[in-house]
Structure 1
Amino acid sequence: MKILALDSSGLVASVAIMEDDNLVAEYTMNYKKTHSQTLLPMLDELKKAVQLDLESIDAIAVAAGPGSFTGLRIGSATAKGLGLALNKPLIGIPTTEALAYNLYGTDEDTLICPIMDARRNQVYTGLYCFQKGQLQTVKEQDALPVDTLLEELNQMGKKVIFLGDGVPVFREKIQEMCQVPYLFAPGHVSRQRAGAVAALGAIYYGQGKTESAREHQPDYLRVSQAERERAERLKKSQDA
């Protein structure tokens, strides 16, 4: 089984190819370029480097959200375009679940808490743990104030590992509010990786959790800033 994976849900752009349990190649970039500039060229470089025939893949796994609205749209459009052209199924992987999978093998009593900066003092997050080698969802991914998340973690009373691009943004807040033992994941596993998307994609594929390219839609979790501002303008005009 061969999975092509894409992740452009955050600041990182990442592409990977996994065949059975072997990560054949992974190209990840966290630099000052937009995903529209990087994602397809990265895929092309990877394809050339490993002499990949795209017709040989079984499915395309893509980080389906939450995350950057623009990044998710670019990843979704790329995956959908490839899926339609190649007639291959898509596998939508929750972004925070893929982040948590970076920390495979974490002890069973530890919570994994991915946090992505969602602006306005909010984070995209979820809570996960590993039980007998299987990733378990403790709290479904959501968008909520970081203070609310930290209060929930304090009430749960378990050790926590934080990772994601929200860590540098909210590090001081975590240090101030978190009353349970915690760690920050090291840099090599603290951001999105298409390798994790591919590994989860293989599991999802085996469980029959696929969709057609036409069916796939990103999971934004909340409306965009532009949509919020439009709604506010409409409300003001109606109140006037």
Structure 2
Amino acid sequence: MTVLLALDTATEACSAALAVGGEVLGRFEICPQQHTQKILPMVDSLLAEAGLTLKAVDALVFGRGPGSFTGVRIGIGIAQGLAFSADKPLVGVSNLAAMAQQALTQEGAKRVLAAIDARMGEVYVGAFEEAGGLMQLVGEEAVLPPEAVTSPWPGLAVGTGFEAYPELAHRLALQMGKVTLPDARFMLPLAARAYTEGSYTDALHVEPVYLRDKVTWKKLPGRE
């Protein structure tokens, strides 16, 4: 029985999730300025609810980005700390892929264009298509101005990028979905496949995905 613990702080949302066999426990809260205060209590609460310690976890999963610069760093730093303390491997999952996986699970979407508002007149965007019950990236993730975004097919639009630029979904003939922010629960299926295939790393070699070098977190609400 594989036990995976996931956490994500890359956007305005803060979430954690625990997969124990076929059971998934989760915590989710939108709290733009409180990630550092919220995430570890979420983790402790999940482990307590499952009656487990960190040593019982097989791997730690984290939202690797794209997202706010500071949010991605917070999540990676906390995941690294937990991994070091328990000597566990780490699995990074795309925040865009997590939203696409949620759209597949909750809305049955087989094709998803996920976009996170990157501020500064841009969005982080990625196209995903279902294969074997998991959402797979089509092409590459990118950071683009809305007018440069294209879609390989009609599908479901998810993420804050479409809230910030509502004309984008209309232009691309996409149906609006209900998912707006990543949730760690939906990182778990993607991470489980990666872990089974040996696609994990140690805490020293974790790689964030920013997609651009500018410090975008300064533009998030409450973080000016």
The residue identity in structure 2 corresponding to 1:213 is: A
Q: Contact 1:18–1:199 at 8 Å: present in 2 too?
A: no
Q: Does 1:167 align with 2:157?
A: no
1:147–1:131 Cα change, 3 Å: same
Q: What corresponds to 1:232 in structure 2?
A: none
Which structure has the greater CA radius of gyration?
1
Q: What's 1:75 paired with? A: 75
Among residues 186, 204, 208, which one is paired with 1:196 in the alignment? 186
Go from structure 1 to structure 2 and tell me whether the alpha carbon gap of 1:73 and 1:107 turns closer, same or farther (over 3 Å shift). Answer: closer
Counterpart residue number, 1:230: none
Question: Deviation of residue 142 (structure 1)?
Answer: 1.2
Listed one character per residue, the Cα deviations across residues 197-233 of structure 1 (whole Å, up to 9, x for unaligned) are 122111100010000011112111111238xxxxxxx
Is the Cα contact below 8 Å between 2:11 and 2:32 reproduced in 1? no
- Rounded to whole Å, the distance in 2 between the matches of 1:92 and 1:107 is 23
Q: How far off is 1:49 after superposition?
A: 2.7
One-letter code of the match for 2:156? Answer: I
SS of residue paired to 1:208: coil
How far is the alpha carbon of 1:64 from its aligned partner?
0.6
In structure 1, what is the equivalent of residue 97 of structure 2?
Answer: 97
Percent identity of paired positions between Structure 1 and Structure 2: 29
Give RMSD over aligned pairs.
1.8
Name the count of aligned residue pairs: 213
Question: Partner of 2:165: helix, strand, or coil?
Answer: helix
The two structures have a TM-score, normalised by structure 2, of 0.88
TM-aligned CA deviation for residue 34 of structure 1 = 2.2
Alignment-derived partner of residue 139 in structure 1: 139
Gaps of 5+ in 1: 227-240
SS across alignment from 1:202: helix
SS for the counterpart of 1:102 is helix
CA contact (8 A) 1:76 1:218 kept: yes
With structure 1 as the length reference, what TM-score do the two structures score? 0.82
Which letter maps to 1:130? E
Gaps of 5+ in 2: 217-224
Shift of 1:191: 2.0
